[in-house]
Structure 1
Amino acid sequence: MEPYLAEVRLFGGDFAPRGWAFCQGQLLSIAQNTALFSLLGTIYGGDGRTTFALPDLRGRAQMNPGTGPGLPTYRLGQQTGAETNTMNTLDMPNHTHGAALDNANASIKIPALADAAGTTDPTGAIPASGEDSNGAEAKLYSSSDADTTLRSFTAPVSGSVTIDNTGGSQPMNNLQPYTGLNFIICTQGLFPSRS
């Protein structure tokens, strides 16, 4: 079957056969390729007066123009995308980081009363100064193990935790697995009729 003018094919050779050209964005003369220009126009480049361009498919995947369900619109000849992408914080999914404090110290003040104590029940009370029945200063401290708990209190701890940025901001590869083949376009063939 004779190929249609402007038909694009994959070719495993390292040359473009007679009547075909590589799809490498090269400029052609309109005067010498009027039939091909009538099909391509300046979709792929050129000034439209003396030159027009062939599609440039070097290093690019192909897709059908238009709009797929839930996808943006792409037009014929549009080039977009990148081989690599560098993510920033806006590209990352929402997430959290754990933080651990090593050797953190807090200063806790234990309230006490310098005046004379007024109760023998420590529940809900605070340490206070006192005297025994002879008027001597009471011994309020012991080296024995504790057997009760004093009234609880809030000990505010202040400060901040800084989590350093990490990563090297290196671009990530966006390429799917590939095999290099030549795309060629028919420059001499049957003129396609519209059906």
Structure 2
Amino acid sequence: MTGDCKTTRRSVAVAALICLGLAGAAHAQEGFVGEIRSFGNNFCPRGWTDAAGQLLAISQNDALFSLYGTTYGGDGRTTFGLPDLRGRTNIGTGAGPGLTPAAWGQRAGSEQITLLQTQLPGHSHQMMANDVQGATGDPEDGVLAQPHLSNSQGNLYTPSAPNSAMRQNAIQPEGSSMPHDNMAPFLAITWCVALVGIYPSRN
């Protein structure tokens, strides 16, 4: 009889620990309403939903709406939007030292970018020539050379600095103005928004 009592007490103690552990896990999973959390799996737990910019009904999510408002979309009468973190990184609001200010809910950035001429660093293109006597008057497929005059050699070059600009198409442009990738290395994971949980207090 004594042994049975000890077994029963031990079983009750183990069950209590399991219940406490489950309660703690449930509390940890609950989170705060509106909290955004990343998960390594490919789905959001119960009470959470994907941070995919979808519209929700205010009538069914009034607590979350009171926190988000229409910052992420919606008409503010019947619907409001969730943050859309699909293919995006998130940054802190405000402005760090020497950084551009970022407002709550602001979107910016691009996966690809095409540089403008004004964004290129200052540079020069070297123009090549040949100091032999020219053999043709056709510029196609040729380079600058010494001009050929009837009985004398003309001078086509000077060591002085240039003082006049040639036509823009005198030197053939290069490049095709194609956009280039503007993305840092990344790892895609699942971002979820807490629909239920503890309502966050400001103090």
- Match in the other structure for 1:83: 111
2:127 is paired with a residue whose SS is coil
1:67-95 alpha-carbon deviations (Å, 9 max, x no partner): 12122211111111100001121111000
TM-score in terms of structure 2 length:
0.69
Q: Determine helix, strand or coil for the equivalent of 2:59.
A: coil
Q: CA deviation at 1:165?
A: 1.0
Cα contact 2:53–2:85 (8 A) shared by 1: yes
Match of 1:190 among 174, 180, 198: 198
Q: Which residue of 2 aligns with 1:31?
A: 59
State the distance in 2 between where 1:186 and 1:44 align: 15
Residue from 93, 101, 111 that aligns with 1:73: 101
- TM-score scaled by length of structure 1: 0.71
Deviation track 1:109-139 (CA, whole Å, cap 9, x = no partner) reads 99xxxxxxxxxxxxxxxxxxxxxxxxxxxxx
Distance, in Å, in 1 between the alignment partners of 2:145 and 2:72 is 65
Deviation sequence 1:5-45 (CA, Å, 0-9, x none) = 11111112222211001000000000100000001111111
Q: How far did residue 96 of structure 1 move? A: 0.5
Higher Cα Rg, which structure: 1
Paired residue for 1:17? 45
Query: What count of residue pairs does the alignment treat as equivalent?
Result: 153
- 1:178 aligns with one of 170, 176, 186: 186
In 2, the alpha carbon distance for the partners of 1:8 and 1:181 equals 13
- In structure 2, C-alpha distance between the alignment counterparts of 1:156 and 1:15, rounded to whole Å: 74
Distance 2:182 2:156 in 1: 50
1:104 maps to: 145
Q: Distance in 2 between matches of 1:56 and 1:155?
A: 68
- Aligned partners of 1:98, 1:105: CA distance in 2, in Å? 18
Q: Indicate the SS of the match to 1:67.
A: coil
CA distance in 2, matches of 1:97, 1:4: 60
Partner of 1:74: helix, strand, or coil? coil
The percent of aligned pairs where both chains have the same amino acid is 42
**Aligned mates of 2:149, 2:201 — CA distance in 1:** 90
SS at match of 1:18: coil
**8 Å CA contact 2:146, 2:156 repeated in 1:** no
8 Å contact 2:74–2:81 — kept in the other structure?
A: yes
Alignment counterpart, residue 54 of structure 1, candidates 70, 74, 82: 82
Aligned CA RMSD, in angstroms, stands at 2.5
CA distance in 1, matches of 2:145, 2:98: 52
Over residues 117-164 of structure 1, what are the superposed CA-to-partner deviations in whole Å (9 max), with x where a residue is unaligned? xxxxxxxxxxxxxxxxxxxxxxxxxxxxxxxxxxxxx95769958221
